[in-house]
Structure 1
Amino acid sequence: MLEKQRKIAGMSYAELGKAADVHSSQASRICRGQFKTLSGNVLQICRALKVAPASAKKLGARQVRVGAKEKLARAAAQSVLALWDQTPEGANRVVRLLDDIVALARSEHKVETGIGPQRRAQ
């Protein structure tokens, strides 16, 4: 599957490796299906070839190694879903809440870095 996608994309192993930030020998090995787990390198190759990692898993990968960033993203998504009551109004409330959190985080960052207006003690 990955080798076929690489050829369709018209990429050499060196080009794919560069696009995926993986050594060309790793790109070659992964495209030929010589891997047992969905490691970070396999996921990067999948992203570069625009292939769903689930498709790569069918080639023999037995488990998924998830990096810290992916774990945090998954936890954040689960938390957002836990807030949502499955209604359009609930979705709007969650979006507004997240927007407020982003604004607060940005304002706190500005204060910590000395950018923007400073908060005064009351």
Structure 2
Amino acid sequence: MISYMQICMESTPSELKALKRQIAAAAAREGLSYAKIARICGVHSSQVSRICRGEFRRISQNVLQVCSALGLSGPFATPDMQSDRGWRQVEASARRLWEASDRDSDRVSRLLEVIGTFRSKP
């Protein structure tokens, strides 16, 4: 299932690359025009075209809508991340903190950003 949490979390270049490949493959497999995908997901066809060509830098709501229309579901991670025990532990902890609201996702995201600033200091 595609979640709002995926929008709030920063994606690594390898995650984005994997997602772009998944979208392109799903679009080719489904054989739907950009206009048809746009009607299904409610995203403007020019945005659908751009997303299906992999021309995006973050996982936005529009990207998630296109993924849903193409039958893709998250999490959008590389196979290495999906099998990495440490990543699964971090993801599970973040999900326990998050109560599935926009306000709460902002709080959890800010908390993770603060932790990141402490890690980057000498």
Q: Same fold (TM over 0.5)?
A: no
Specify the TM-score bucket, using the shorter chain as the normaliser. 0.3 to 0.5
The structure number with the bigger radius of gyration is 1
TM-score (norm 2): 0.44
